Amino acid sequence: MSGEKALDVRSRILFIYPNGEGVYGRLSSVLEKFEIIKENNPSKATEFFLHNDVDLVLLGHTKYSPCLALLDFFKSAKPSIPVIIMTDCGSERLAVTVFRHGARDYFRKPFIVKELKKSIESALKMRENQEFKNSNSICRALRYINENYTKPLRLSQVAMEAGMSLSNFERTFKREMGITFSRFVNKLRISKATKMLKGNSLSMSEIAFDSGFTNQYHFTRMFKKIMNIPPIVYRKSL
């Protein structure tokens, strides 16, 4: 699971601002501890965003290159990534709109680099703290799962134990653990079952119930799905 990341570990910023070479140059000189990826082509920018680790997006808005479509894409694809808008043709209406669409901050020319830098560092720090908080929440969830895997485990109950909303927990759990909640629980239960199968004292039905499954059929089906072999054949192979 991801832990707390200090800002001096070269957080990666995706910079998208057509004709913003001057701004890019000024920012690069004051943001030396960050890795700034400059990509003005929207298709290439979205492709990079999807397939690489990005900690923050600096998104430009111009008369010929409005930002809302990209802003919506970034916030829907990875909601936790902060997006800061920079514009040379801004208005109060635009500011209200981008904030409603999920922007973290908004800057209009002429840019004060010191203020922009402060906003970037603040956004990254807030995200870092949220990731640390999520990691602690997932740890609480894992502890609860390990203590209660023999009982019915409802996703809503585990999310509550983690102190997270259902949707946030489901999304965060998959990102942190690499698999869905239900698959994690089933793999844990099958792992426990393989240990019980090493002895001959318990029946298949007893092992199914003792490892958290409600019936032997479900246990057998899930065991074969995960281990690629039926439990009775697995026992004989031992």
Q: Report pLDDT digits (tens) over 23-67.
A: 788 888 888 888 999 988 888 999 999 888 899 999 999 888 888
Model confidence at 89, pLDDT cuts 50, 70, 90, reads confident
Q: Quick check: 213 pLDDT over 80?
A: yes
Q: Which of 14-18, 47-51, 88-92, 232-236 has the lowest mean pLDDT?
A: 88-92
* Residue-level pLDDT at 136: 86
* Burial track 36-74 (b if 16+ CB lie within 10 A, e otherwise): bbbbbeeeebbebbeeeebbbbbbbbeeebebeebbeeb
At 6 the pLDDT is 44
Site of tokens 């990341």: 5
Give the model confidence (pLDDT) of 18-33 as tens digits.
877 777 888 888 888 8
Q: For 199-215, what is the mean pLDDT? A: 91
> Which tokens in the block code for residue 95?
């500011």
**What tokens were used for 25?**
């140059």
pLDDT of residue 7: 42
Give the residue, 7 or 54, on which the prediction is more confident. 54
What's the burial of 233, exposed, middle or buried (CB within 10 Å: 0-12/13-18/19+)? exposed
Q: Identify the burial level of 212 via C-beta atoms within 10 angstroms of its C-beta, where 0-12 means exposed, 13-18 middle and 19 or more buried.
A: buried
pTM of the model: 0.56
**Average pLDDT of the chain, as a whole number:** 87
Q: What is the 3-state secondary structure (H, E, C) of the chain?
A: CCCCCCCCCCCEEEEECCCCHHHHHHHHHHCCCCEEEECCCHHHHHHHHHHCCCCEEEEEECCCCCCHHHHHHHHHHCCCCCEEEEECCCCHHHHHHHHHCCCCEEEECCCCHHHHHHHHHHHHHHHHHHHHHHHHHHHHHHHHHHHHCCCCCCHHHHHHHHCCCHHHHHHHHHHHHCCCHHHHHHHHHHHHHHHHCCCCCCCHHHHHHHCCCCCHHHHHHHHHHHHCCCHHHHHHHC
Q: Which residue has the higher pLDDT, 175 or 85?
A: 85
Domains of the chain, CATH where assigned: 12-130 (3.40.50.2300), 182-237 (1.10.10.60)
> Residues 93-113: pLDDT tens digits?
889 999 988 998 999 888 888
Please give the average per-residue pLDDT across 216-227, as a whole number: 94
Give the pLDDT of residue 78.
Answer: 82
Per-residue pLDDT tens for 177-192? 888 999 999 999 999 9
**Own/partner long-range contacts of 149-153 (Cβ < 8 Å, ≥24 apart):** 149/185, 149/188, 149/189, 149/192, 149/211, 149/212, 150/209, 150/210, 150/211, 150/212, 151/212, 152/214, 153/185, 153/212
Confidence category of residue 9, pLDDT binned at 50, 70, 90: low
Instruction: Reply yes or no: is the peptide bond before residue 66 cis, omega within 30 of 0.
Output: no
